[in-house]
A and B are shown apart, each in its own frame.
Chain A
């Protein structure tokens, strides 16, 4: 078993243990009958997972992935403060600016203006579609 498989198996075991604990210890027998059946089966399969000869897990390119997750997480947290459209425009611009290919134009200001323009047009199109046309609620924020 390689180290990546070991880590994922340990995580699955921990999740299974939490499920078994919350179904059998925290819950009463009447309301937790079905979760108990499922979590017990999960526990048995988790034990079997330790003996499975698995293939190596796919490696993760954290260097390129984590900034994206951080920007998107900030967007989710900012939704309630800035509202959907303002937060969307900011996350759109930030993500496309951060993820720039080396082959793109070297003229920083030109790239910045184009991406800002696309972010604005995209957000405005979302506003037109969701709020004006479909009349659907979006997170409003404080402003």
Chain B
């Protein structure tokens, strides 16, 4: 119950203000169609530079929690999920809006998000310390394979093509090698002065997530827009609470499935929402109403995608493997604040980590209150024109990038990287594995070089990397994730055909 000791740190005026601000902004950004939680957290990271680590993480955590929930607003009112995690919500949520019950749907969404979110944070609280202790057994070669496993899982789950996903991850690793060699400071791949300091993690994050969004908004600016429904309906808050808690089966399925999927590295809210929707449909007595505006469907999907938030941080805090794409960005946030995930995270930085985890509980409560309040005015939030949104993101991206090191070269790198990624994404490449490769690149190379050194001293580097139970398990998991990726992509192609 160590987490109870750090609540005092959360209840300061400054931290509560950060939580309220982060949650408020997160719900609005999440509600804007196309602005993903990942991009929102990436854009926010530079603003946390000048904060203390716990303050910065509190703000990032509040934003992560709120954007996932806020994405349901546009899913319900416009039928455009604000984030991939809200795809399943749109199926029945928008139908309820068409039937004049958008307000009811929004109530169910925020209440079930809150229940799922709290459940997920408690899973995070109780499962992280034992897993962190387990990571003590991970030495250089094991950590090398852990990094490769993280990239492999994200690459195979986040891309339609396994080859393109793996290539994306490897391009990220190559980006991380630009600049000085990690141990002897020799410059590598510095073809121009602008690359002298390499590619900073946050520069990569902003470029790869924010710039493609700018181009996407401008490219589709003249495309026809969907109709925005008003938040009308007959539900009072008490009725909505009663209804959500009367659907315990859907609520439990969503919360449990979301938590399990959150722990699986790389899976994320999109999978959590869809799997929970599917499973609750299978056991529901109202299954014939699914797809026609069934509250149980919204409850299962939303409790799942928010219960995923806490557990997605478990592999991140213990092994540096993010449980979701946004957690990958959060890893960048941890590293720039000098917090290195691993076995000693709770002994070296207990105050920072426990304060951060405690703040996630408060963020869930604020998400419920602010979400219910904002959902009344959500129609106006979604009226922000795409051209204003695009230029706003562009200016924040440029400012955020420059402010990291006051370096104009970073702006050029961010702009170029983001534009290339946009065209790359058209060809099936995903930014998430690239970012993870970039974030984990330096650590992976350091562990590789150390393992290689020890292996050579022992007689065989290859044997050193491929022997030992943990190494063998990790290599098998890498292979299994690739095989699964190939299988599922073939299966989805067959279904489409």
Q: How far is the CB of B391 from chain A (nearest CB, A)?
A: 5
B215, B219, B385, B444 interface centre (most CB from chain A within 10 Å): B219
What residues on B are CB-neighbors of A32 within 8 Å? 188
Q: Are A99 and B163 in contact (CB under 8 A)?
A: no
Cβ-defined partner of A64 (8 Å) among B221, B394, B415, B427:
B221
Interface residues in B, total, Cβ within 8 A: 54
Please indicate which of the listed interface residues A34, A99, A134 has the most CB atoms of chain B within 10 Å of its own CB: A34
Q: When each residue 405-433 of chain B gets 1 if its CB lies under 8 Å from chain A and 0 otherwise, what string results?
A: 01010011001000100010011100000
- Min Cβ gap A5→B in Å is 8
Partner of A65, one of B164, B177, B218, B387: B218
Contact for B215 among A31, A33, A65, A101, CB less than 8 A: A65
User: B176-227: which residues lie under 8 A (CB-CB) from chain A?
Assistant: 177, 181, 184, 186, 188-189, 214-215, 218-222
Give the A-B pair count, Cβ closer than 8 A.
145
B230–chain A nearest beta-carbon distance, Å: 20
Known A-B contacts A31-B181, A80-B408, A91-B395; the reply to A38 vs B219 at CB < 8 A is no
Cα of A81 to Cα of B78 in the assembled complex, Å: 42
**CB pair B428 A57 closer than 8 Å:** yes
Contact of A3 with B by CB under 8 A = no
Encoded as 1 (CB less than 8 Å from any B CB) or 0, chain A from 1 to 39 comes to 000110010011001000100100001000111110111
Nearest neighbor of A135 in chain B, beta-carbon distance:
B50
Judge whether B390 is part of the interface by a CB distance below 8 angstroms: yes
Given the interface contacts A34-B177, A57-B428, does A68 sit within 8 Å of B184 by beta carbon?
no
The answer to whether B173 and A58 touch across the interface, beta carbons within 8 angstroms, is no
How many residues of A are in contact with the other chain, CB < 8 A?
60
B160: chain A residues at CB < 8 Å are 55
For B392, give its contact among A122, A134, A139 (CB under 8 Å). A122
Which of B232-240, B277-285, B396-404 lies at the interface?
B396-404
Partner of A96, one of B174, B215, B222, B388: B388
**B140 → A minimal CB distance (Å):** 13
The answer to whether A45 and B415 have CB atoms under 8 Å apart is: no
* In the complex, A107 has a CB within 8 A of chain B: no
On whether the beta carbons of B427 and A57 are closer than 8 Å, the reply is: yes
B444 CB to nearest A CB, Å: 8
Q: Bound state CA distance, A136 and B403, in angstroms?
A: 7
Contact of B188 with A27 in the complex, beta carbons under 8 Å: yes
A42 and B161 within 8 A (CB): no
Q: Is the CB of B177 within 8 A of A38?
A: yes
Residue of B at shortest CB range from A60? Answer: B426
* Distance, CA A122 to CA B222, complexed state (A): 23
- Asked if B388 and A42 make an inter-chain contact with CB atoms under 8 angstroms apart, the answer reads no
Query: 27 pairs across A/B with beta carbons < 8 Å?
Result: A8-B426, A19-B174, A31-B186, A34-B177, A34-B444, A37-B448, A38-B174, A42-B170, A52-B163, A55-B160, A57-B428, A60-B426, A64-B220, A64-B222, A72-B214, A76-B398, A79-B408, A79-B411, A91-B394, A92-B395, A95-B218, A95-B390, A96-B385, A99-B221, A134-B50, A138-B399, A139-B402
Residues of B bordering A, CB below 8 Å = 47, 50, 160-161, 163-164, 166-167, 170-171, 173-174, 177, 181, 184, 186, 188-189, 214-215, 218-222, 385-388, 390-392, 394-395, 398-399, 402-403, 406, 408, 411-412, 415, 419, 423, 426-428, 444-445, 448-449, 452, 493
